[in-house]
Chain A
């Protein structure tokens, strides 16, 4: 079966712009989580969606937002981009929500802010 698909793979944006990233989870999976990966901070949790509702949120400013659609696909949006937002953004899908549930990651979207 197809894995987690993230689009686009690479993006270059200018400071102050906004960006939308997309994630299609594995078929049948209803939970989608987003992570930011940087050399300085490692992998950090952004937020998690399940059944179109945000269930948990990490410690990121309000410029970072997301949503989930009825087909479980998810998007995340970053507004007023800053240079420090340059990172690899990873999406993970799981069958359901809760602890002890395996997460499958996509290949990520590499965002560069110039």
Chain B
């Protein structure tokens, strides 16, 4: 099953280059953010998360940056590989105390050999 359809923004990068995927979130009260990766036929897979009291968090080959002033989130992937080709979603979690994610529209990452 495809993750999303016809009008996804697409980012094409050369294998080995760094990728930067951006996301604007909607709720200034959100205090937790996640990046998910969705490959064709699969459910979203957790990549990295960040809380609102941080502005940067690093994982293995990935870094998430949070700018609360402009409600912007970005995902940086270092040395992009063919296996990174997928749709990437950001999700925000409001501070309502109930568990609920609001997802962005997604960005399709294509890695060119």
Contact = CB atoms under 8 A, between A and B. Distances in A.
Is the pairing of A and B real? yes
Interface of A: 4, 31, 33, 35, 37-40, 42-45, 48, 50, 55-56, 58, 88, 90, 92, 94, 97-108, 110
B6 A39 contact: yes
Interface string B101-112: 111111000000
Given A105-B44, A106-B43, A107-B41, A98 B97 contact: yes
Contact of B99 (A38, A42, A90, A97): A97
A90 B98 contact: no
Given A39-B2, A92-B43, 6 more contacts: A37-B4, A98-B98, A99-B93, A99-B99, A100-B93, A105-B44
A31 B3 contact: no
B1 A104 contact: no
Contact of B42 (A33, A39, A103, A107): A107
Contacts, number: 85
5 contacts: A39-B4, A45-B102, A97-B99, A99-B99, A107-B42
B99 A56 contact: yes
Contact of A42 (B4, B32, B96): B4
Contact of B98 (A43, A48, A106): A48
Contact of A102 (B34, B42, B96, B104): B34
Contact of A90 (B44, B94, B95): B44
Contacts of B101: 33, 45, 103
Contact of A108 (B1, B36, B91, B93): B1
Contacts of A103: 34, 46, 99, 101
A48 to B, nearest CB: 5
A50 B99 contact: yes
A77 to B, nearest CB: 20
Given A39-B6, A48-B100, A99 B32 contact: yes
